[in-house]
């Protein structure tokens, strides 16, 4: 499996980050676009900090197995990813194999490239924008983060559920995968807010 070395920084100002990226020589590979995904994390995978995802990225559709994504160690996440031809068919394969998708999720993403490193600006429902930096080594990720003005003490390593936990500390962000629809037109679910259903 491939090691995924990435770091996340929360509450970014998109316009300011774009300007900083241009200033250090990064190129925008893909402008902001809507992405959709179906995530499956049955108990056997949850126990291994793993999930399977089908994601329509705008220019391609991928199917991914990711493990160790929530350990908090930058070199722990491992993944296997393939490009597939059709989002609905890939979801159907998972469902027919017994990996029924438990959550349909939408995000917006803009992708920048700086040499061997990728910087993405992500927007998730119910969160402020965030930035992910992925590179070939922890040292390189730290170098790019520093050049963009990020302080490593503010880094978040691991799944996006940690960002939800920071914003909604009374909720159960681990249950994000069990929220049927994580979309921009849905209200924040009670389980994320930490309130009881009315």
Q: What is the pLDDT confidence band of residue 1, given thresholds at 50, 70 and 90?
A: confident
pTM of the model: 0.90
Would you state the pLDDT for residue 77? 77
Would you state the pLDDT for residue 198? 42
Would you state the pLDDT for residue 3? 84
> Strand 103-114 relative to strand 181-182: parallel, antiparallel, unpaired?
parallel
| Mean pLDDT for the stretch of residues 61-68 | 92
Tell me which residue of 4, 1, 2 sits closest to 159, measured CA to CA: 4
Does residue 69 have a pLDDT over 70?
no
Which CATH number is 2-193's, of 3.30.70.2860, 3.40.50.10190, 2.40.320.10, 3.30.70.2190? 2.40.320.10
| Mean pLDDT for the stretch of residues 122-135 | 98
- DSSP strand E in the chain: where? 2-3, 6-9, 27-40, 50-56, 61-67, 78-84, 103-114, 117-123, 130-134, 181-182
């Amino acid at each position: 499996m491939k090691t995924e070395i990435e770091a996340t920084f929360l509450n970014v100002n998109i316009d300011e980050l774009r300007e900083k990226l241009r200033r250090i020589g990064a190129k925008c590979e893909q402008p902001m676009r809507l992405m959709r995904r179906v995530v499956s994390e049955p108990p056997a995978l949850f126990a291994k900090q793993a999930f399977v995802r089908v994601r329509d990225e705008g220019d391609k559709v991928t199917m991914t197995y990711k493990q160790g994504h929530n350990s908090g160690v930058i070199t722990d996440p491992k993944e296997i990813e393939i490009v597939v031809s059709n989002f609905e068919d890939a979801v159907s394969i998972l469902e027919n194999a017994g990996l029924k998708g438990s959550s349909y999720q939408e995000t917006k993403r803009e992708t920048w490239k700086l040499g061997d490193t990728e910087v993405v600006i992500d927007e998730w429902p119910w969160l402020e924008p965030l930035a992910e930096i992925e590179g070939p080594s922890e040292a390189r990720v730290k170098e790019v983060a520093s050049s963009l003005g990020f302080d490593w003490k503010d880094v978040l390593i691991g799944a996006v559920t940690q960002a939800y936990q920071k914003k909604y500390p009374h909720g159960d962000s681990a249950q994000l995968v069990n929220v049927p629809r994580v979309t921009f037109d849905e209200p924040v679910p009670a389980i994320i807010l930490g309130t009881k259903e009315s």
